[in-house]
Structure 1
């Protein structure tokens, strides 16, 4: 066992709460070891029950029993440490910078083991021997090595500071109690030391509790950051999906717009090409007729001219082009129509997106019931606590601290300190209403100012058409439709 103990380090036998060698070590379900007293006190002041090391949460307080194996190992380690400390203290060591040297040594100064508050000197092991063996010196008060022993003497009477004046909160000597501190409340240094040490112990416990609370707050903040990161990733993914669809819709609408305009232009060009082809055909025939007329007019054959005159002089068979023209198609409104269709599509996408967001938010839905203990006396609550209306007569109700005395308000029974909560309140048909959340510590008596500074986060409706967020100062709201 000794050989095995030598392979282990001091850190393996230290409680992570008190930072000392285990005393009655116990093991938590997650496998970590603590002093029984340390973990018991820790869980008495910290709920829920978490392991101080790995932060694993236990919904019920675990039953703890002393780990006999660890207890025996810790006892052996403590014994080995004491033996090591005892053996090392017997070795003569040269005083190093920062250590208290022996005042008696000549030449090389050895490290002091004790300081005498009577002799006002520090001694190494060799020079400390008289104080351990000589009867007169054995009564001297020894302490761990300290520098500036003169500071432990009364500057007025040159006597050891053995007492503490609680009136003036300073250390004094015996002669001081007969002079300047004669009527003061004076106690032995040890008595005050014990009291102050107890206070320090209490302060240390409070500090440890503050540290633990801050560690829990760190974990809470980290958890919030993780949730935020998850929400951010989800929103980015949703956003990319929505905007990709919107981009594709815009590109598709743009392509359809261009195709529509080009199709109109194509039909115009086809019509024009048909007219031009027909005109060129008529021009070709007219040229041929012109040649025939010219040849006939130059003929000297009387009979031939007279016989051909009727057919050549007749009007050619052509279209009346005076009423025919190419009218460019109107493109006015084409873009407007395309944008209008795109707007309708965007509106549908927005509606789908809103429904998806609302569905995701509704997973945090909570059941809210109204608390009759908080209701203003003229407020009438339904039996199930789900509805409230204004009565004409003020009921005679006890004016308990929770009840509003002058403001016609009522609060829900449910409360929360963190997290997300979703609930709906029906306001349809109301011409005036106030709605929001408040701190539990709000003032409920007398005149009340609805603003965040006083613990109110609310919106209201007045005169059937004026909406405002009471942010101090208020912010006017302009909803697209009346909320139900």
Structure 2
């Protein structure tokens, strides 16, 4: 007996690679921990075929497991007389613990989505040595495997139902989701991950719009300032009788410049807010895309990829060539044709000012554009205030 007890390997379970606990001997003669062999057979219970993990001998029906009392006594003596060699590895905390390490928990290096368990370096070897377990799905160690399990059938979630937008198991396809559009979770994840490129493209489009708007606003400011100065020079050459019109035109340009700038700045603020939100979502989706767990990815992808509450802003066509040259020409003509100004030239000035726009609005889904005016209509100003004034100045 002493010669037998000198070796722990003879009394180790080939599943957990530890000294046998509650040893049972199956019909082929091999012995295992009762919990280990029970867990192995539970995985194939739906097939009705059971086999030995070592010799692969098929056993049907499922044998009733009974504790091998003789082997249990030998194991107890071995524990008392022989050293219990723990595997050389780091302890689990704060990492994912191995589900099969007795006593102190060691760090798990892999998680099996088929067994729904995590394994350390020692216990994961069984998945590379035993043919049946080589087909299992292994990923880097992750905690809380319960969400990867179907709540109704207790099977691994490996399928995605596009009809109901949820992760399901293979049994769900045969029952609740029989006629639904279903694909492998990995396939759906790869498709959804392509949407990252669409978000990045949208960011680039918004950045381009912001840049063009900033350039247009600066051009508008410079042009408006120049025209105010030029108009001032022209109007100061006019007689005192037209000083009222001079003041009205300056106020017209200044007021509408302010309205156009405010409108453009408001547009830029909305675009910058959308860019910030898209960048935040892009960063979160990048982090999510690095996780190997397909189920975690799919369960969190939809909420991160949802359209922002503000929705898509309409596209804009920025006027990059802003000039008040037409206004200056009209003012010069006003100087030369003062007698006819009240009938035609002031209307022309107003028309030219109103045509100066920072950008044009348009729907992103159609070619129909609505021009965003930089200046407000002043038709009522012309007929209410200017025409009576010029009528009094016109020679009779």
- Pairwise TM-score range, normalised by the shorter structure: 0.3 to 0.5
Larger radius of gyration: 1
Q: Which has the higher contact order (CA 8 A, sep 6+)?
A: 2
With the length of structure 1 as denominator, give the TM-score of the two structures. 0.33
Give 1 or 2: higher helix fraction.
Answer: 2
